[in-house]
Each structure stands twice: as structure tokens, then as C-alpha cells.
Structure 1
């Protein structure tokens, strides 16, 4: 058996095997992170992006309130911790093994990270724009 689901067509997705050696560093949103492209966007025709974000230094100040123009952003903490706040008032410090699914368009603010944070980030679709925004009503501006 080839693993295919009977009656289902395979989307135009290519096999991709990423290693640290073949995953290039790419430009990213934040100067305090290095971004490693895992090749998923190219393999899925842009439907999904996967990258590892590694701390260059810990955050020196919050990113400021922003949204992402995407369907969803998924964050999985591999090392260290990241602290975020969300438009609904939720505030979390997420550490190793913790995961966060952020709906596209949801206002959020990265408050702090450990100096050694490493995060696996996925987005649907792969092209995820970032848009600064005003803080939610009643919440302080970063």
C-alpha cells in the first residue's frame, strides 16, 4: 500500500527533507532572531511555511501590537521561553514543549523572550505579512 487515502487526490506537494546544514538562514521580521527556512513553502507551493526562529539576543523591548495577514500562525517552543499578550486579555509565558495557535488577524504583542529561545513557526498560507496596529481598547501601547 502506498499510504494514499483511497479516492483522494494528492495535492501538488513535493517531498522535502530539511537538515540544519541544508536549511538556509533567511531575512525575517525581527532583528533579535535568526530565521531558518525549512523548505516547506517551496514544497507546498506557498500553502504552508515552516521556519525555526533562533535568538540572536533576548528581546530588549516588546515588538508592539501587530497582526498577521494569514489564516493562522502556529508557534511551538523548542528551547527557552516567549511571553505574549493577546487582544482578548490573555497573557502567557510559553516554554519548552508549549504551543500556541494564533488565528490570522488577531492582535498580539511579543513582550519578552529568553536569551536562548528557539521556536518552530508555521503559517498558513506561507506568505504571512505583519501589520502594526493600535493596542486593543484598555490595553497599554508597547
Structure 2
């Protein structure tokens, strides 16, 4: 049975909330969607958008999380998921299985995605490189 008492109703309108720096990556901006507060930390949902050109990318890492999806809303991004290059374009949804080693190394200037992760206070752990990373596409 669904427990309706441990979470709160939440509605964040399109114009509410600013994109801010200070998130997981300095070269992205983040807009909180109020889900972490509504779920008492069970889930986080935020919009992420490009802020600076991809110079070094995220580096190889994995997340200590039970669940993570990325839904690309605008533009594109190129990831390495273990040794497989993956182009994620607007409209695509990626489920990152728990513990998968990955590296976001390239993205378009208009890239914007929705990320949903559980728990809200998930950890990002640096890992040893899995393979060589292709060069990012220079922004013009």
C-alpha cells in the first residue's frame, strides 16, 4: 500500500526558482524542483544546464545511489558508460544503474536535462579510468 503520509505535495511552476551554481559540477547550473524537501530526502529532482564549455568534463566517477535517471530536455551530451560512448539527445531517457562508472565529457551549449536520483544526498565517488575519453566538441 502506498504511504501518503511521509511525503508532501509539491508544485513548482516553470518560472519559479533560479538556476544557481554550487551544485555537483561548477560548469553546470542547477534548478531545484522541491522534490528533496517534499520527500524528506528520499528523492532529488533538479534541472541541470550547461554554463561553460566542456574542457575536462566530469571525470570518471560513480554514484552511491539506488536510482538515477537523466532525461535530456534540450541539446545533447556525450557520456562514456564504462567503455561505451553514448550520445544522449533531447527526448532521450537514460537509467544509470547503481554503481555504473561513467564520464560526461561533451555537451552542447544549450544542453539541459532533468535528473532524478534517490536518495537526495547521493554521493559521487571518483573511480579509476575505464578507457580513453574522446575530445569534446569546441563551442563556436
- The TM-score range, normalised by the shorter chain, is 0.7 to 0.9
Mapping for residues 23-62 of structure 1, pairs under 5 Å: 23-26=17-20, 27-62=22-57
Gap runs ≥5 in structure 2: 135-140
Query: Which residue is 1:140 aligned to?
Result: 132
Instruction: Decide whether the 8 Å contact of 1:23 with 1:39 is kept in 2.
Output: no
Secondary structure of the corresponding residue to residue 103 of structure 1? coil
> Equivalents in 1 of 2:96, 2:7: separation in Å?
24
Q: 1:33 Cα deviation (Å)?
A: 0.8
Mapping for residues 1-142 of structure 1, pairs under 5 Å: 8-26=2-20, 27-87=22-82, 89-136=83-130, 139-140=131-132
**Higher alpha-carbon Rg:** 1
Query: Which residue is 2:137 aligned to?
Result: none
Q: Assess, with a 3 A threshold, how the Cα gap between structure 1 residues 18 and 58 changes in structure 2: closer, same or farther.
A: same
Q: Name segments (4+ residues, structure 1) moved above 3 Å.
A: none
Secondary structure of the corresponding residue to residue 119 of structure 1? strand
> 1:14-59 CA distances to partner (integer Å, 9 max, x unpaired)?
1100124332445211111110000000000111100000111231
Size of the aligned set, in residue pairs, is: 133
Gap runs ≥5 in structure 1: 1-6
Q: 1:90 Cα deviation (Å)?
A: 2.1
TM-score (norm 1): 0.85
